Structure formats: C-alpha cells, structure tokens
Homo-oligomer: A and B are copies of this chain.
Amino acid sequence: MPSLELTESAVDLTRTICDIPSVSGDETGLADAIFAAISGLPHLDVYRDGDTIVARTHLGRAQRVVIAGHIDTVPINDNVPTRDIVEDGTAYIWGRGTVDMKAGVAVQLKLAAELTDPRVDITWMWYDHEEVDADLNGLTRLARTRPDLFAGDFAILGEPSNGEVEGGCNGNLRAIIRTEGVRAHSARAWIGENAIHKAAPILERLAHYQPRDLEVEGLVYREGLNAVRIRGGVAGNVIPDLCEVEVNYRFAPSRDVAEATRHVRDVFDGFAVDIVDVAAGARPGLDAPLAREFLSAVGAEPRPKYGWTDVARFSALGVPAVNYGPGDPHLAHHDEERVPVAQIEAVEVGLRTWLLGL
C-alpha cells in the first residue's frame, strides 16, 4: 500500500497523491493511504464509508466549517505519473488530477494534520466517485447513511478555482437523444432506414448551438450544451436501426431542473429525449456572514463557478458553500492538466490564515 507523509509540503503531497491512480471506481488504494495517514491523529475523529473518509475536530467552537474534496479523477490519458515542468517562467506540476483536484486534496490533508487548534471546528471530507453519475458520488451515499456529518455553518470545496473564490455552480444534466431506423443488408440500403443518418440534425443543432450567459446575484454564469458520447451500429454490413447521442447540458443556477429539462427537449424537438442524470446548480450565496469573512481573509474577488460541484449539495442543505482551490478549471480533464506550484502554496496559506484567525 502506498503511504502518505503529511508533514511533507503540500506540493510534494500533490505529486505523491497524483502518482497514485484513482480513476472513478478505483479509489481504494488512495483512500486506504489517506485513512492510514489520518486515523492516528489524536485531534481528529475519523469515519470511513467505502472510499469516503470524514475527519472531524470536536473543540466546542461556536461554528463548524466543512472542507471537502473528491479523490477520484477522470480517465488517465498517458498523463500519469506527474512531471515538474516550467512554462513561461512558471513552475507547474503536470499530469492527471493535478488540477481536478488532488492539489486541493493535498492542501486539505496537510492542514487537517497540522491544524490541531483552529478557530472553528472543521469537518474534513475526502470522497469517491465525483466524476461519474451523481448516484455513485460518495457524498450521495454519505448523505443517506450519515446526514449529520453535513452539519455546518459554511462549506469550502477545494475544486480548482485558480486560487480565487468561485461561488455557486452551474447545474448539470445528461440526456440520451435517440434515432431509430430499420435494419437491412447494407447492399440494399433502400430497404432499411439508417438511424445514424437520421442523427445528422442532432449533430447539426449541437454544432450550431449558441450557449447563453446568465447573470445570477452579480456573477455571470456561462452555459454549454455538448455531445459527450455517440454510438450506433450493428455490423459492418447492416443498416443500423439505432443511434444514441449522449448530451451534457450545463445550466445557470437561475434555472431549475424542470426548466433545464424543458430547454433540452426544445432543442431536440422532434427526437426521442431521455433524461438520464440531472443535478440542480447552486446560487452563489456569498452574502452569508462566514462567506464574507472568508472572502476578506483570503483577499479574493468572487467569480462564478461554471462546473457543477458539490457546493450544490451543501447549498441544497442550507449550508452556504464556495469553491476554493489551486489550478485553472479550464485545464480540468484536459490532457495537459497542470497546476502552478505557487497556487498550491497560496491556497495553503489562505486556508491556514483564515482557519487560525490570524
């Protein structure tokens, strides 16, 4: 089993945990290492559920902050192990997970071990299956079995935000658009109906779709509608009777799930649309007292979060939540994912300063 040394710098810890592959569904090795490193610490009460680990202080503080990060990544594409690179004079750690979001997790792990006497009680959460169906998300499971663990006055998700504070998040919907045809031998195609050819307007509408920008509480959220998968076909000599295009719609937090669903059905009017997964976004919520305090302590200008993150889960439970982590979110899931070393250090300092009330 790989082991973690939490007295290492957050930068070294980032390298170490990125080099332990943990693609969604395969997080156990990393979860075991985190559990082993954390469970001996006397100031933390540790709970494990599958590959999700929760570590809490019980200092009797007036307020509790939840600080969370997922430990899974999207599939590796020749970008593990990590490498140290320099671009335009900036030092980066390059590789899968460096941005989304193991650098954030590394900072959290280091501070969880170090901060034995913070000014607020802290609930640390490291969880699995964030990059796949919401159903599989470790926090979804935890919310069913231990909803009490989500209690708090404020939550910080360590999702990449370039070391800025990103408020709220877009909602997230996935749907399958289907075309049907009639199979026939491809030598006599005119007898059948080609389901793949019928999908041409679906791709046309996607290619020409103009995403909207929507302002919510002063922050501008950018939407997006994309094909993420397509499949169809039976054999090399058969006219296909089915084609499925999976689309992903990211929608501003001012739209609810019903409105988002209606929009997708409108865009693909005339086609069979099956909604397979949908999660509401979260409004920024930056007027909460702890949120204002946090913003001023870390000296950051709030920005909108485009990607859906688990801030929406806390937001739905009435806990104001923000994203604050190292790494450019534009590079999340990118093959050239890389995190500036200086941002890891800045987020570490920002969190430590605020949590110690310095």
Residues of A with Cβ closer than 8 Å to B?
A: 74-75, 77, 100, 131-133, 170, 172, 174, 182-192, 194, 196-200, 203-204, 206-207, 211, 222, 224, 226-241, 243, 245-246, 248, 250, 277, 306-308, 329-335
Closest B residue by C-beta to A227: B196
The answer to whether A333 and B238 touch across the interface, beta carbons within 8 angstroms, is yes
Determine the chain B residues whose CB is within 8 A of the CB of A235 once the complex forms. 74-75, 131-132, 228
| A170 CB to nearest chain B CB (Å) | 6
The answer to whether A132 and B236 touch across the interface, beta carbons within 8 angstroms, is yes
Given A203-B199, A330-B184, A333-B185: A231 and B231 interface contact (C-beta under 8 Å): yes
- A319–B30 Cα gap in the complex (Å)? 66
Q: How many monomers of this chain does the complex have?
A: 2
Given A186-B228, A224-B187: A234 and B74 interface contact (C-beta under 8 Å): yes
Determine the chain B residues whose CB is within 8 A of the CB of A182 once the complex forms. 334-335
Determine the chain B residues whose CB is within 8 A of the CB of A197 once the complex forms. 203, 206-207, 226-227
The answer to whether A170 and B187 touch across the interface, beta carbons within 8 angstroms, is yes
Closest B residue by C-beta to A224: B189
Per a CB cutoff under 8 Å, which of B183, B192, B228, B245 touches A77?
A: B183
Determine the chain B residues whose CB is within 8 A of the CB of A207 once the complex forms. 197-198, 200
Determine the chain B residues whose CB is within 8 A of the CB of A335 once the complex forms. 182-183, 241
Q: Give 27 A-B contacts (CB < 8 Å), ordered by A residue.
A: A74-B237, A75-B234, A75-B235, A132-B235, A183-B335, A185-B329, A185-B332, A186-B248, A186-B333, A187-B250, A187-B307, A187-B329, A188-B330, A191-B330, A191-B331, A194-B227, A196-B203, A197-B207, A200-B203, A227-B240, A228-B238, A228-B239, A228-B240, A229-B234, A229-B240, A236-B248, A236-B277
Top-6 shortest CB links A-B:
A229-B233, A187-B307, A200-B203, A196-B227, A185-B333, A185-B332
Determine the chain B residues whose CB is within 8 A of the CB of A332 once the complex forms. 184-185, 187-188
Determine the chain B residues whose CB is within 8 A of the CB of A211 once the complex forms. 189
| A228 CB to nearest chain B CB (Å) | 5
- A105–B200 Cα gap in the complex (Å)? 40
- A54–B150 Cα gap in the complex (Å)? 73
Given A199-B203, A203-B196, A334-B183: A306 and B239 interface contact (C-beta under 8 Å): no
The answer to whether B243 and A248 touch across the interface, beta carbons within 8 angstroms, is no
Determine the chain B residues whose CB is within 8 A of the CB of A191 once the complex forms. 330-331, 334
The answer to whether B228 and A233 touch across the interface, beta carbons within 8 angstroms, is yes
Determine the chain B residues whose CB is within 8 A of the CB of A188 once the complex forms. 224, 306-307, 329-330, 332
Per a CB cutoff under 8 Å, which of B183, B187, B306 touches A308?
A: B187
Closest B residue by C-beta to A243: B230
Per a CB cutoff under 8 Å, which of B198, B204, B233 touches A246?
A: B233
Closest B residue by C-beta to A204: B200
Determine the chain B residues whose CB is within 8 A of the CB of A187 once the complex forms. 170, 172, 224, 250, 306-308, 329, 332
Given A250-B186, A334-B184: A228 and B224 interface contact (C-beta under 8 Å): no
